[in-house]
Structure 1
Amino acid sequence: MKIGIVIVAGGRGERAGNPEAGPKQYRPIGGRAVIAHTLERFLTWSRSAPIVVVIHPDDDALFEAAIADLAGRDRVMRTYGGDTRQRSVLAGLQALAQTDATHVMIHDAARPFVDHDLLDRIAAKLDAGHTGLLPAMPVADTLKRAATDGLVHETVPRAGLYAAQTPQTFLLSAIRTAHDKAAGLRRDDFTDDASIAEWAGLPVTLVDGTPDNVKLTVQRDIAMADEKLNRTHALPDVRTGNGYDVHQLEPGNGVTLCGVFIPHDQKLSGHSDADVALHALTDALLATCGAGDIGDHFPPSDPQWKGAASRIFLAHARDVVQQHGGTIMNADISLIAEAPKVAPHRLAMRQNLSEILGISLDRCSVKATTNEKIGFIGRREGIAAIATATVVYGARS
């Protein structure tokens, strides 16, 4: 299963007021365009495959400016929408059908606070075999039905009533067929994709939505979103990850630590080059975004990693962090060994870290200590490493 994303961003946003400011999806909140925040939520979600953004034909320049600083923007395709949301969605589905996506999440560009927990809940339902999913919140307010004269006619029972959200998610082939059928019959009055699915006889199952997944509609919504993000940005999302690794020593001609080969009368035993320092730092980086450990990404049972240079593993962890919106701020490694001496090689080790991680030398630290001849390290049976990484992530809402 591959989950493609269609983000609908072709509207003019008349209800947002202030037309001189442009369509609401390109207005700034928290220092970036609304659509940039929305796209980032999907670009940093581990299960999103192709992403198609449906924009207005007049908005190329606005769109390019909005996504200019987004990591992973090369994964985003664009197409042009019609004069209604329904026609724009169909254009997005047609573009997505040219990819290998099997399922589709259809999302409003003006919902920038969709979170990964909601996306994971939807994906879990897909994994369980559901083919039509609608995130929704139970209606909490008392509902009244009134006529055009403003007089209340009745109170509407709210039991079983839900407010629909996006992304609304379907088997791609099924929802595209339903949209094609509606277009062929010139049915252009559906308010969302779930209503088209219902009309076409496709089953739609509710998924718990989230109160934060609001749609920015009027000018006040945009102002409140901006205030919320600016308040959040004042408290940066700083995370620290720790890693530990140890490898056994055996007779040999040298060890590799932090990518530097040091001649020695022993070598480290391991499937790769057994660089305990880079292994520990790889785990520390992965820990900052909950991405498992080195064994999950590079299983020792896989023969392709036999004798591999551990800088490959560290570079991969760097990329994972960046894909999750992280900026590496600092890397610190403590080596624990009786021998060989690390001090003569410390600068070269720090330079390797600086090059691989793309951070300045003063943000890379390598230290070494002995184990005072205590335990397996003291008996020169192994070398251990402890690593700490500090990463700043885009502020969460």
Structure 2
Amino acid sequence: MDFAGVVVAAGSGSRAGAGSAKQWRALGGRPVLRWSVEALLDAGAAEVVVVIPAGADAEAAGALEGLRRWRTVAGGATRTDSVRAGLDAVRIDETAAVLIHDAARPLLAGSVVSRLLKALAQADAALPVLPVADSLKRDGGGVSAGAVERDGLVRAQTPQAFRLAPLRAAYAAWPDDAAATDDMAVFEAAGGRVALVQGAPALLTLTYPEDFAMAEALIAWETRMGLGLDAHRWGPGDIVWICGVPICHHQTLVGHSDADAGLHALTDAILGAIGDGDIGDHFPPSDPQWKGARSDQFLVHAVERVRARGGRLVNVDVTLVCEQPRIKPHRAAMKARLAELLDLPLDAVSVKATTTEGMGFAGRQEGLAAQAIAAVALPVRPAS
């Protein structure tokens, strides 16, 4: 079923503690808002309208950089006003579905979206719910005022799914000065029929500072490996760059940039770990701006691509294959330089060297080769 998403992110999040509004804060290495928008896009949303505070366009653009099929609209004074603004901006067909989601529930799994869309085949709206497991009590001013029967009670979550035309009609009929606990309250007041589907425990709301710690604990991390290989031939010169370190030598490596084979191999390994092409895709040798360029900027770019995905480097390992120059006297400096560029501890960086016992182009001292492996950890949404 075709559907659009509306992500409500127009609040100030004052109860979440000091700092920026919670929708811009980091969770698992990426902005809270990005989790919800990515989840809806990955689930197949034709478009996602993000309702943000007035004047927060720059924050939204930064949080959602690299994503497609989204746009922003300014929210209103209340959540109801913000949802109305989001619905007005949706451009999908009136017969399609729309999912209204709170950005403060970032750990949305695609399976929840699937259950909601399936339920819309038999109803005008669908709501993800969880059973109430705890005993319920009334608060009588700091003392218990008796138990509340929990049979028949469920906890409502978002996203809440609707057929677009009936939801717009329900909001048009809702009084401007009336408050609604959620979108289902508006829909049910107009006589809409709502199906209940299984929610997900991970869909908790980030309200207080401790909720962020709980959400972090629910995020799984996927470790990926990448392999890089590079080689350059020897040519006239007196300095060679290897793993970011200049070494005085009677030859240099020939290439379009500074021909640092160690950094080139490592850059490819990192890009490979996240499936983001290779060094030639990002810095084509046909582009004159990279002629003679320092290769450390290529490596830093690859690390930034990992961080943009909310990921982090775990460790790297570089093997240099050459007969000359001797690597061991410079290995400590190479490790230190790589650790600095990658923001890794020294024990997460390895530089080794070997020869080919006179065999092949490296053995004939025609060139130098480098091989690198990189491990990257990426955050993964809960699957339930």
Contact 1:281 1:387 in 2 (8 A): yes
* Structure 2: distance between partners of 1:380 and 1:294: 25
Residue aligning to 2:362: 377
Amino acid at match of 2:305: V
* Structure 1: distance between partners of 2:279 and 2:49: 28
- Displacement of 1:312 after TM fit? 0.3
Q: Pick the aligned partner of 2:263 from 270, 278, 289.
A: 278
- In structure 2, the CA distance between the partners of 1:38 and 1:266, relative to structure 1 (3 Å rule), is same
Amino acid at match of 2:336: Q
* Structure 1: distance between partners of 2:276 and 2:53: 33
Residue aligning to 1:332: 317
* Structure 2: distance between partners of 1:259 and 1:116: 43
For structure 1, the residue ranges without an aligned partner over 5 or more in a row are 12-19, 57-66, 96-104, 120-133, 145-163, 169-174, 196-212
**Superposition pairs of residues 109-128 of structure 1, within 5 angstroms:** 109=102, 112-114=106-108
Q: Pick the aligned partner of 2:78 from 77, 83, 86.
A: 83
- Displacement of 1:319 after TM fit? 0.5
Contact 1:9 1:108 in 2 (8 A): no
Amino acid at match of 1:307: G
- Displacement of 1:283 after TM fit? 0.9
**Superposition pairs of residues 60-209 of structure 1, within 5 angstroms:** 80-85=75-80, 87-89=81-83, 91=85, 108-109=101-102, 112-114=106-108, 137-139=117-119
Residue aligning to 2:294: 309
**Superposition pairs of residues 204-243 of structure 1, within 5 angstroms:** 222=204, 233=219, 236-243=221-228
For structure 2, the residue ranges without an aligned partner over 5 or more in a row are 43-47, 66-70, 90-97, 125-157, 176-182, 188-196, 206-210
* Structure 2: distance between partners of 1:262 and 1:220: 53
Give TM-score scaled by structure 1 length: 0.56
CA deviations on 1:314-355 (whole Å, 9 max, x unpaired) are 000010111111111211110000101111111111111111
- Displacement of 1:8 after TM fit? 0.6
Amino acid at match of 1:109: D
Amino acid at match of 2:302: A
- In structure 2, the CA distance between the partners of 1:231 and 1:347, relative to structure 1 (3 Å rule), is closer
Residue aligning to 2:155: none
- Percent of matched pairs sharing the same residue: 39
Q: Pick the aligned partner of 2:335 from 336, 350, 365.
A: 350
- In structure 2, the CA distance between the partners of 1:342 and 1:241, relative to structure 1 (3 Å rule), is same
Amino acid at match of 2:290: W
* Structure 2: distance between partners of 1:381 and 1:240: 30
Give TM-score scaled by structure 2 length: 0.57
- Displacement of 1:215 after TM fit? 6.8
- Displacement of 1:261 after TM fit? 1.4
Q: Pick the aligned partner of 1:323 from 308, 312, 320.
A: 308
* Structure 2: distance between partners of 1:396 and 1:88: 26
**RMSD, aligned CA:** 5.6
- Displacement of 1:82 after TM fit? 3.9
Q: Pick the aligned partner of 1:254 from 228, 233, 239.
A: 239
- In structure 2, the CA distance between the partners of 1:378 and 1:36, relative to structure 1 (3 Å rule), is closer
* Structure 1: distance between partners of 2:202 and 2:239: 66
Contact 1:287 1:293 in 2 (8 A): yes
Residue aligning to 1:366: 351
Residue aligning to 1:8: 8
- In structure 2, the CA distance between the partners of 1:232 and 1:287, relative to structure 1 (3 Å rule), is farther
SS of residue in 2 equivalent to 1:137: helix
